[in-house]
Each structure stands twice: as C-alpha cells, then as structure tokens.
C-alpha cells in the first residue's frame, strides 16, 4: 500500500510552497509582458490568447525541468570573449534581454505616436497574428523562467514537486492576467510604466549574462515604489476629473 505520509513530507511541502511562491513572484514580469502582447490581438481573442499563452508557457517551463541534463550544460562555458566566459545560459539571457529592450522601446515609441487607442478611434488599427503572439509569449517565458528553474533544481531534486509548483503558479497567473490586462489597457500611463519595467528587466537580463548580478530585491522594490506612485497619481487625476460641487 502506498504510504502518502512518507512521500508528502514536511520538507517536500515546504519546497513546494517556496517554489510556488517563487514562480508567482518571478511571473509578475511575465504577466506584464503577456498583458501588453495580448492587447495587440483583436478584443475577441485577447482572453483566449492569454490563456493559451500561459498554458504554452507552463509547458515550456515543464520541458525545461524535464531537460535537467541539458539545463546543467547551459551553465558551462561555451566561448570566451574579451576575457568574459559566456555559457548557453548567458547567451539566452543576453538575447532575451536585448529582445525585451527592443520590443518595449518600439511599444513606447508607438504609444508616443498615438498607439493602439488612436488607431482604434480612426478604425485603422492593425492587429497582431494570433499564433505569432503566442510564440512570443512562449519564447520570452523561457528567458523569464530560466533563473527560477535553475533555482528550483538547486532547491529540490523532486521533479513532481517542481512541476506541481509551476502548475499552481500558472493557474494563479491565469486568474489575475485578465484583471491586469484590463487595468493596463484602460490606463495609458500605467502601460508606459509597465513597458519601462520591461526595459529595466531586459537590462538586468543583459547584465546577468555578463556576470553582473543585479539583486532581484532592488528591481522589485523599484517596481513596487513606482507602482505606488503611479496609483497615487491615478487617484489624484480621477479626483481632479470629478465635477466641482
């Protein structure tokens, strides 16, 4: 008879909860990118795009976990450039960071020139391809999740526990992605702030690829502080828009 008590130990439970929390926290930047990318789709396809994108992202993370041997080889040196040792992980972080910076910069430029809202009002808005959007979400999730997967491998060797933590984190992100998308889309300044966060994250990924470690706590503090300031600004603007009594 299978003894559940011997399998689900306190140590495994702690590892599961820790990994799930880690995946959720590190998934915040993923949700921001997902919300902005899905907003390029026709309104009727945005919810479906977010769901399929997150489901695909979950599969890519599980695939990374199941490729533990390949994942371990990613940390070994591939080439040395100007005295800097670069591994497969470094190349992924570098390319992903540069893509994120470029993508966010183009989005900010588009918003400065009117953006999707101006196009929607004129009736000339061009929507992105559904599957190309899903592909972007899945590819960027590999970059976003690489560090968290490597950390997970270091915390526990129990693959089912790691997979369960990823599934739980994705379910939580699916639940909140719609709210985040609607809020970002309804507030252009919040959208600009979110894009600025992606530039910051992209720069940190490039720095990580060059062995310059940027503590995640600093990034999250800066993002949280900026978000609080923006929420106060939203409140002030809404109060100023109310008719005087």
Please give the pLDDT value at position 4. Answer: 44
pLDDT tops 70 at residue 124: no
> Looking at the domain assignment, is residue 2 inside a domain?
no
> Looking at the domain assignment, is residue 232 inside a domain?
yes
- Residue 27 and residue 49: Cα distance in Å, rounded? 17
Residue range 158-185: mean pLDDT, rounded: 80
Q: Which residues of 215-238 are buried (b: 16+ CB within 10 A; e: fewer)?
A: eeeebeeebeeeeeebeeeeeeee
28-38 and 10-26 helices cross at what angle (nearest 10)?
40
User: Which residues have a Cβ under 8 Å from the Cβ of 65 and sit 6 or more positions away?
Assistant: 71, 149, 152, 153, 159, 162, 163, 166
> Looking at the domain assignment, is residue 4 inside a domain?
no
Domain carrying residue 118: 10-241
pLDDT tops 50 at residue 17: yes
Beta strands (DSSP E) in 64-219 are: 77-81, 84-87
> Looking at the domain assignment, is residue 1 inside a domain?
no
Residue range 133-158: mean pLDDT, rounded: 70
Residue range 114-118: mean pLDDT, rounded: 54
Please give the pLDDT value at position 25. Answer: 65
R_g of the chain computed on alpha carbons: 20
> Looking at the domain assignment, is residue 77 inside a domain?
yes
- Residue 220 and residue 181: Cα distance in Å, rounded? 20
- Residue 230 and residue 30: Cα distance in Å, rounded? 20
Residue range 71-99: mean pLDDT, rounded: 76
Please give the pLDDT value at position 195. Answer: 81
pLDDT tens track for 173-225? 888 878 877 777 777 888 788 888 878 888 888 888 888 887 877 877 888 89
Q: How many domains does the chain have?
A: 1
> Looking at the domain assignment, is residue 5 inside a domain?
no
Please give the pLDDT value at position 122. Answer: 47
Please give the pLDDT value at position 2. Answer: 42
Between the two ends of the chain, the Cα-to-Cα distance in Å is: 74
| pLDDT-derived band at 229, boundaries 50, 70, 90 | very high
For the ranges 76-90, 115-129, 205-219, 225-239, the one whose mean pLDDT is highest: 225-239
* pTM of the complete model: 0.66
> Looking at the domain assignment, is residue 53 inside a domain?
yes
> Looking at the domain assignment, is residue 65 inside a domain?
yes
């Amino acid at each position: 008879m299978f003894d559940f008590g011997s399998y689900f130990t306190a140590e495994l439970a702690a590892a599961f909860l820790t990994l799930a929390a880690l995946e959720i926290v590190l998934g915040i930047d993923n949700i921001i990118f997902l919300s902005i990318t899905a907003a390029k789709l026709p309104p009727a396809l945005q919810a479906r795009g977010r769901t399929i994108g997150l489901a695909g992202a979950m599969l890519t993370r599980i695939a990374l976990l199941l490729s533990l041997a390949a994942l371990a080889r990613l940390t070994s040196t591939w080439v040395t450039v100007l005295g800097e040792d670069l591994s497969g992980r470094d190349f992924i972080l570098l390319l992903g960071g540069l893509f994120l910076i470029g993508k966010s910069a183009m989005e900010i430029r588009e918003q400065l020139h009117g953006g999707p809202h101006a196009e929607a009002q004129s009736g000339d808005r061009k929507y992105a391809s559904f599957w190309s959007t899903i592909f972007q979400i899945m590819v960027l999730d590999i970059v976003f999740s690489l560090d968290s997967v490597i950390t997970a491998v270091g915390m526990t060797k129990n693959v089912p526990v790691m997979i369960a933590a990823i599934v739980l984190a994705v379910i939580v992100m699916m639940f909140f992605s719609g709210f985040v998308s609607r809020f970002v889309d309804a507030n252009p300044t919040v959208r600009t702030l979110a894009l600025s966060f992606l530039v910051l994250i992209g720069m940190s990924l490039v720095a990580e690829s060059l062995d310059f470690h940027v503590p995640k706590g600093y990034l999250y503090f800066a993002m949280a502080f900026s978000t609080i300031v923006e929420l106060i600004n939203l409140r002030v603007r809404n109060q100023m828009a109310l008719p005087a009594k």
